[in-house]
Amino acid sequence: MTESLLISILVFMIISSVVALFTDELISAIIAIGALGFGGSIAYLIMGAPDLAITQIVVEVVSLVLLIRVTIGVGLRLTAGCCSKTRTAVAGAVVLLTSFVFAFSLRLFPAFGDAVMGRVQYAPSIFYIEYGLHSTGASNLVTAILLDFRAYDTLGEATVIFTAVLGGIALLRKRGRNISAGDEVSRGDTA
């Protein structure tokens, strides 16, 4: 039951991603990518990951707003025509090679529904499930891992977000530093 539901949602996601890549209008591509993200959110909900579903919805809405901001500035123009034949051939060859790699490596995984953590000796997940409530006091094990067992990961995540924000501000600010024509400083140093 769960498996067939997940399969149908994944097929929906694949169709919407194909539509997103091969339509001519940018705005319909963005709407299709929104369908992909919300389908992923439903898939997380079915797979027993409510935290992920909530995060995915929030992130998807924000990224849709950002992408629409990019296209509205252009005035909804159509995208220019597509790719040359050699480029498509090279891309097809790369995709074929990668699919062979996937086909070989996916056989190593246990069948669906048989979690990998059960197959590994001393898997950290088993420890987290067994002692998570006792040692952190959080009844939600995902938050117990995020904010307690692996708190340094979350700190690194905050650093990455901060750096991205700094980069975005530096790229998009309207007023830069004023450089007069006779300045000794070359443009490359201050930019």
Partner 1 sequence: MLYTLTSVLFLVGLFGLLTQRNIIKIIISVSIIESAVNLFLVLVGYRKEGLAPIITRHTSHGKIMELSVDPFPQAMVVTSIVIGLSVMALMIAIALRLYHIYGTYNIDEIKKKQEEEKT
Window 108 to 127, contacts with partner 1 (CB under 8 A): 109, 112-118, 124-125
Instruction: Give the chain's end-to-end CA distance (angstroms, integer).
Output: 57
Residue-by-residue DSSP string for 66-132: HHHHHHHTTTSPBPPP---HHHHHHHHHHHHHHHHHHHHHHTTSPPTTS-GGGTSTT-HHHHHHHHH
Contact between 74 and partner 1 per CB under 8 A: yes
Length of the chain, please?
Answer: 191
Contact between 14 and partner 1 per CB under 8 A: yes
Contact between 185 and partner 1 per CB under 8 A: no
Here's the x/- map for partner 1, 47-66, by CB under 8 A: it reads as xxxxxx--xx--x--xx--x
CB of 107 or CB of 182, closer to partner 1: 107
Contact between 151 and partner 1 per CB under 8 A: no
CB of 134 or CB of 182, closer to partner 1: 134
Contact between 142 and partner 1 per CB under 8 A: yes
Place of tokens 């149908």: 8
3-state class (DSSP) for residue 25: strand
Contact between 94 and partner 1 per CB under 8 A: yes
